Amino acid sequence: ATMPPLLSAIANAGRHGVLVKSAVVMERLGGVTRVALDKTGTLTEGAPRVAEVRVVGEGAAKGLGSAEVLALAAAAEHPSEHPLARAVVALAKERGLRLVAAEDFSSVPGRGVRAVVAGRVVQVGSPAALLGAGAAGGGAEVVVEEIEGLGRTAVVVLVDGDPVGVLGVEDRVRAGAGEAVAALGRLTGSAPVLLTGDNERAAAKLAGGVGITEVRAGLLPQDKVAAVREWEAAGEKVLVVGDGVNDAPALAAAHSGIAMGRAGSDLALETADAVVVRDELATVPAVVALSRRARRLVV
Ligand code: ADP
Ligand code: MG
């Protein structure tokens, strides 16, 4: 017997480096009318590097230099699987800093982490989460603006509630990201959109470089879900492409979800309908096209 079209499409997708979890999923992918892509780890390589460590506000007053700020941040980030956390830990190790074991670790997706390090409460995360209304910035906001102005992601470090440092993180755009965005636009007939938890400035810079015009930045995981629901309520069938724990709810809520597999979080891989194993964005439009072709053969 010849293989049914959807099964041979799954086999084909596998050859392209995409694991499609079922024939139902293979069929649905071709019906997508709009694509929403995550930024960090999806359109970017997800292997960010800390480019600068700045001591701010209370940092100097607490006797902390950039090495101490980095060491405290890395200790708090050590249990996290977020790409930014890995970047912070990598630089600390590169500089030969000794990491104290963190206690009482907790993380809030899309915001950051909190842990007790050597008796001090250390928080590491987004400026929006940690420099919110009321928190005395001590110059941190100005440094954040400088860093974001360079298209970098600013990561704020608080010790016992006071801002002590800001890290500037750089991430490279994936090779072929612009081509993948263009191909997805052609296939679905609508311009792909960017959904990101990162800041407006970094998001706009990246979007411009890959040909995306519609950007929603500063989103929490539930905001990504809300965006998907909004479009689907208007009759769209949305494909979410993401990698992180923060993308899992949107991957689950959308008509279809594809996770970037190599650096993706376990939760995203489990929740998504399909997983990009070969870590190339070009495989996403390829799989949508395969589904389209298979659907034409299924009658
Ligand atoms: P994206 O949607 O672009 O993949 P995320 O939702 O994962 O980004 O993260 C959004 C923002 O939350 C990050 O830009 C960062 O400021 C902050 N953040 C989340 N987790 C961490 C962490 N472990 N360490 C530092 N910052 C974090
Ligand atoms: Mg991400």
Kindly report, residue by residue over 117-142, the tens digit of the pLDDT.
999 999 999 999 999 755 555 689 99
Ligand with minimal distance to 39 CA: 1
Q: Which domains does the chain have, with CATH numbers?
A: 5-46+173-297 (3.40.50.1000), 49-170 (3.40.1110.10)
Encode pLDDT of 184-229 as tens digits.
999 999 999 999 998 898 899 999 999 999 999 999 999 999 999 9
Q: Kindly give the number of the ligand 1 atom that is closest to the alpha carbon of 245.
A: 7
Containing H/E element for 128? helix 127-130
**Could you tell me if 194 and 71 are in contact, meaning their C-beta atoms sit under 8 angstroms apart?**
no
Active site residue 273: no
Q: Whole-prediction pTM value?
A: 0.84
Distance CA 3, CA 298 (A): 12
Atom 9 of ligand 1: nearest residue by CA position:
110
Query: Is the per-residue pLDDT at 144 higher than 90?
Result: yes
Tell me: ipTM over 0.90. yes
Query: Is the per-residue pLDDT at 167 higher than 70?
Result: yes
Ligand 1 pocket by C-beta < 6 Å: which residues?
38-41, 77, 80, 82, 84-85, 110-113, 124-126, 153, 155, 196-198, 244, 246
Number of Cβ within 10 Å of residue 266's Cβ equals 11
Q: How far apart, in Å, are the Cα atoms of 257 and each of 36, 95, 219, 249?
A: 10, 39, 18, 10
Encode pLDDT of 51-79 as tens digits.
999 999 889 889 999 999 999 999 999 99
Distance CA 198, CA 232 (A): 24
Among 1-5, 100-104, 180-184, the range scoring the smallest mean pLDDT is: 1-5
Q: Quick check: helix, strand or coil at residue 148?
A: helix
Encode pLDDT of 251-269 as tens digits.
999 999 999 988 788 899 9
Give the per-residue pLDDT at 46.
Answer: 82
Residue appearing with tokens 């293979």: 26
Token pair of 168, please? 């500037």
